[in-house]
């Protein structure tokens, strides 16, 4: 009993640490973006997105290298991506002015590139099963370092496109009273604080799995994913309240692009070849694809996200978590 209480306290405290570290990191990244005159959509999709995605990247690296549980790290990434797609836009719309404005750049560039990212990661997992099968009754393949370079190469294209946009849309630099070295130093401090918090979340997830005799995959999808995504949520909600609808949505989409194309492959590059259970990965990527299509649809409708649509997104996430809970306790057996 006391051990379970300890894991709950650890998860809550670690989430607070991640939140604090992310706040420092994101403020620094935002001010650096202004200092270098980077446009709002690029700022949200790359600068702030990479900063706010560092917790997810840390979860993969720590789960793989420190705890030897790469599956938990992947679950945290997929769970975080689903959280970002469904909860962050929904919460931002409700916290804003009753609706969240989109634009054609978000719908026809950011959202569609994100959908391509989901497809490429799933294709990479498929290549692992096809060309490096490990045998057995399940569809399990070995995800090697060369295969991990495929999604990273696509992210390189994404950054290239954003750089071209930055050249075309460069805004005025905000240099008054700004010390770039100090901001870079604060950014580094934020990264270190996040590492400490994510390590606590991973330990709590493993502990919950042992205490309830459930797969660590479920706790990665929920506890670690939500804990590492809360900073993203607060960044987007704050942006929406300030009228920065484009930055808010671009942050959610850009964070997911980074998570899928960089965070998971980096874990493979550091840990070496890793087994991928395609029978588990494919349904999760399918859920992520459906969530993305849902967000894409509501963003395109009149180029705005209304309260009704926001509640629909949040309800969809609640159904997903409920389904995963039923899977983990053996009530349903579609995935786990």
Look at residue 148 in the predicted model and tell me its pLDDT: 92
Most confident of 2-11, 98-107, 237-246: 2-11
Rounded Cα–Cα distance for residues 321 and 336 (Å): 14
Between residues 245 and 156, the one the model is more confident about:
156
Q: Is residue 113 part of a domain?
A: yes
Percent share of the chain, pLDDT over 70: 82
Q: What is the pLDDT of residues 192-226, one digit of tens each?
A: 888 888 888 888 888 887 887 777 777 888 888 88
Is the per-residue pLDDT at 174 higher than 70? no
Domain count of the fold of the chain: 1
Q: Which helix (H) or strand (E) holds 21?
A: helix 2-35
Is the per-residue pLDDT at 150 higher than 70? yes
Look at residue 190 in the predicted model and tell me its pLDDT: 83
Q: Is residue 335 part of a domain?
A: no
Is the per-residue pLDDT at 121 higher than 70? yes
Q: Is residue 336 part of a domain?
A: no
Q: Is residue 28 part of a domain?
A: yes
Is the per-residue pLDDT at 169 higher than 60? no
Compute the mean pLDDT over every residue in the chain, rounded to the nearest whole number.
79
Query: What is the distance in angstroms between the CA of the first residue and the CA of the last residue of the chain?
Result: 26
What is the chain's percent helix, strand, coil content, to nearest 5?
80, 5, 15
Q: Is residue 283 part of a domain?
A: yes
CATH number of the domain at 215, please: 1.20.1420.30
**What are the φ/ψ torsions at residue 12 (nearest 5 degrees)?**
-65, -45
Q: What is the pLDDT of residues 246-294, one digit of tens each?
A: 666 776 777 788 888 888 888 888 777 788 888 888 888 888 888 888 8
Is the per-residue pLDDT at 170 higher than 90? no
Q: What is the pLDDT of residues 41-94, one digit of tens each?
A: 566 556 666 666 778 878 887 777 777 777 788 888 888 889 988 988 888 888
Q: Which residues lie closer than 8 Å to 282 by C-beta, 6 or more apart?
A: 122, 125
Nearest to 202 by CA among 2, 5, 14: 14
CB atoms within 10 A of CB 88: 29
Percent share of the chain, pLDDT over 90: 8
Q: Is residue 7 part of a domain?
A: yes
Which domain does 18 fall in, by range?
2-328
Q: What is the dihedral of CA 204, 210, 215, 217, to 10 degrees?
A: 20
Q: Is residue 61 part of a domain?
A: yes
């Amino acid at each position: 009993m006391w051990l379970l209480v300890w894991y709950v306290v650890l998860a809550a405290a670690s989430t607070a640490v991640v939140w604090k570290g992310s706040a420092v990191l994101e403020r620094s990244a935002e001010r650096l973006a202004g200092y270098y005159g980077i446009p709002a959509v690029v700022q949200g999709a790359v600068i702030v997105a990479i900063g706010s995605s560092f917790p997810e990247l840390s979860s993969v690296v720590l789960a793989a290298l420190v705890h030897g549980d790469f599956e938990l790290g992947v679950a945290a990434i997929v769970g975080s991506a689903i959280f970002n797609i469904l909860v962050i836009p929904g919460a931002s719309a409700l916290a804003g002015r009753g609706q969240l404005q989109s634009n054609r750049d978000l719908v026809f560039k950011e959202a569609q590139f994100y959908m391509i990212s989901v497809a490429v990661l799933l294709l990479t997992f498929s290549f692992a099963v096809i060309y490096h099968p490990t045998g057995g009754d399940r569809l399990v393949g070995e995800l090697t370092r060369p295969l991990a370079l495929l999604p990273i190469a696509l992210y390189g294209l994404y950054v290239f496109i954003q750089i071209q946009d930055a050249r075309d849309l460069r805004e005025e630099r905000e240099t008054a009273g700004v010390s770039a070295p100090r901001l870079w130093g604060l950014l580094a401090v934020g990264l270190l604080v996040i590492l400490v918090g994510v390590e606590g979340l991973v330990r709590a997830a493993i502990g919950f799995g042992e205490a309830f005799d459930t797969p660590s995959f479920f706790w990665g999808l929920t506890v670690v994913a939500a804990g590492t995504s809360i900073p993203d949520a607060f960044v987007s909600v704050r942006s929406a309240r300030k009228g920065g609808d484009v930055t808010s949505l671009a942050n959610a989409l850009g964070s997911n692009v980074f998570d899928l194309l960089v965070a998971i492959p980096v874990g493979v590059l550091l840990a070496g070849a890793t087994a991928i259970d395609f029978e588990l990965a494919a349904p999760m990527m399918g859920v992520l694809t459906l969530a993305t299509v849902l967000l894409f649809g509501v963003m395109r409708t009149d180029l705005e996200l209304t309260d009704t649509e926001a509640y629909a997104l949040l309800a969809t996430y609640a159904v997903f978590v409920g389904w995963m809970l039923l899977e983990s306790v053996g009530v349903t057996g579609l995935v786990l």
